[in-house]
Structures are given as structure tokens and as C-alpha cells.
Amino acid sequence: MTISGFTIVRNAHKYYFPIKEAIESILPIVDEFVVALGNCDEDDKTRALIESIGSNKVKIFERKWDEKAFIDGKIFADETTFALKQCSGDWCFYLQADEVIHEKDLPIILHSCQQFFGDKTIDGLLFKYHHFFADYEHYMPFHGWYKNEIRIVRNGANIFSHKDAQSFRKNNFEKLNVKAIDAYVYHYGWVRPPHLMQAKKKEQDGMHHGKEKTAKTYSLLEHEFDFGALGWIPKFDGTHPKVMEQYINKLDWKHKLNFTKQFNSNRPKLKHERLKNRILSYIENKFLGGKEMFGYSNWNEV
């Protein structure tokens, strides 16, 4: 049994994506790691970051992103499917450029791949999620923040990336049959300096709504992203992956964060701040053990 890691990335250095750490986090258990590297801006050093890993397991494929696909995140799905098709392993382990795996979960993941390898009815493995927000201390166990996602899929099963590359489907858009495993993805997509958080959101929104429309929208917004009142957000009591130590140590924007419970009424509420979602989050975490009501599900759990 062999495992391929794969990802897509563009301008990771410029927008504070821990792409090197993402790759390094699973490198010990994969036989190769495929990177579909988009055409980065001139001031970006993503390729150099990846090459600094110094492993012959890493295979970089240069890609030019088609701006015609910059609607509804199609470009992300197209590039992810391309990367998946370059994988040679029996299992294919997908990580986005802001997703990292804790070293303590690697034995669980490897065992699960071995356990279900012979069962061809299993298309993939379902992971749990820790979504970090604003800094490395706060996380989002709230309604509307997806609790699970498929991150390992079987190769050669006509599987492809779905929508904006969050998940996968097979054949004629059928849901995958998956096994849930006791391993987490550590998602750092909302942990950046406020000015880079805003710049990254603008870049990504441009991939969904078109660059021109997005530029007009962001011309009316503040230069720095407002993370809101962190006093309402719980603190994470676990440990982070060791590969994230350097990122954690260089955090230098705490003075720009609001650790009170007082919201800024001059900006629209984020999804976790809205009253409906706060009520649903309370019910789910207090009475349902964190299970989400009306939650997102893009798979058949077997």
C-alpha cells in the first residue's frame, strides 16, 4: 500500500499560508507529495519555500491558472483534480495550503489506510477539524464551521474535486462512501496578520466572484480585517503540530486584536457572531456534544 500527498497552492508566501508546514506534517507517512503550483506573483517565494523542504518525495508541477475559471471557486476544483490525477499512490491524502496534521495523529491515519485498503467499498476517510481564528489560542467549535471533511480518497476510483475544492465526489457527482477516523485537520486559514487576512480574503473572493467585482467591493472596506470580539470565542487547550512552532513564535499582531466581548457595531457581523448561529452553537455544544444541527455533509458515512 502506498500513499500520495497532494495540494494546490499559489502565492502562499505572500498571503501567509503555512504551505511548507502543511507538506512537512504528513511527509513521514507519504511516498510522494504532489504540488500543483500556480503562477505566483513576482514578489512571492512559494516555490523557494517548498524547495527548502529538501525532500525528493516532493514533486512540483508548474501551472498557469486560467482566469476564466475565477468564478465560484472553479479554479480550485480544477487544479485540485489535476493534482489528484498526478498521484501514483493507492490512497491520496489532500491538504489545503493552510491545513496541517498533528504528528500524534499520523499513526492513526496510517493504520486507517491499512485497515480499509482492502475494502473497495470505502472511497475515502473523513477527518475532524480544529478551526483556529485570529491567533493560535482561539478556535471555532461553532455552528456553520464545518466539523468534518474528506481528506483521503482512493486512487483510480473516478474521484474528482467538488465545487471550490472543499470536498470530493465520484462518477456522476455521487457522494463518496467514507469511514470517519479519530484524526484532526488543524486549519489555520483564519490566522494571519489583519492586513494579510484582508488581502487574502480579497484574493480568494476574486476567485469566486471575479477580480473586477471584488476590487470594487474591497475598495469600500478597511485595509485590515476586523476579527471581532475574541472574548466570546473559546481557547484551545490542546497542542499544535510541532511543525507550526515557528509560525506560532512569530505571531506579532496581538496588539491589534480585541480580547473583550464588545463588538464593533460599524461592520457586518461574521457568521459566528450572528444571534441565530450563537443560539444554535449553544444548543449543539451544551446538549448535543458538539454535533451540528442541519450540518454540512457531503458524504455517505459507512
Per-residue pLDDT for 195 more than 90?
yes
Out of 87-91, 201-205, 207-211, pick the least confident: 207-211
pTM of the model: 0.97
Reported as a single tens digit per residue, the pLDDT across 246-299 is: 999 999 999 999 999 998 878 889 999 999 999 999 999 999 999 888 878 899
What pLDDT is recorded for position 85? Answer: 98
Name, in order, each residue with C-beta under 8 angstroms of 121's C-beta and a sequence gap of 6 or more.
177, 302
Residue 298 lies inside a defined structural domain of this protein: no
Is residue 191 within 8 Å of 175, Cβ to Cβ? no
220 confidence band (pLDDT: 50, 70, 90): confident
Which residue in 24, 17, 188 sits closest to 103, CA to CA? 24
What pLDDT is recorded for position 103? Answer: 98
Per-residue pLDDT for 200 more than 90?
yes
Q: What's the rounded mean pLDDT across residues 168-179?
A: 97
Residue 295 lies inside a defined structural domain of this protein: no
Residue 300 lies inside a defined structural domain of this protein: no
Residue 49 lies inside a defined structural domain of this protein: yes
Per-residue pLDDT for 64 more than 90?
yes
Number of domains forming the structure of the chain = 1
What pLDDT is recorded for position 150? Answer: 98
Domain enclosing residue 11, as ranges? 1-290
The number of residues making up the chain comes to: 302
Q: What's the rounded mean pLDDT across residues 87-111?
A: 98
Q: What's the rounded mean pLDDT across residues 174-202?
A: 98
Q: What's the rounded mean pLDDT across residues 128-132?
A: 98
Q: What is the CATH number of the domain that holds 22?
A: 3.90.550
Cα→Cα distances 84→78, 92, 222, 239, Å: 10, 7, 38, 30
Q: What's the rounded mean pLDDT across residues 173-194?
A: 98
Residue 297 lies inside a defined structural domain of this protein: no
Residue 299 lies inside a defined structural domain of this protein: no
Residue 301 lies inside a defined structural domain of this protein: no
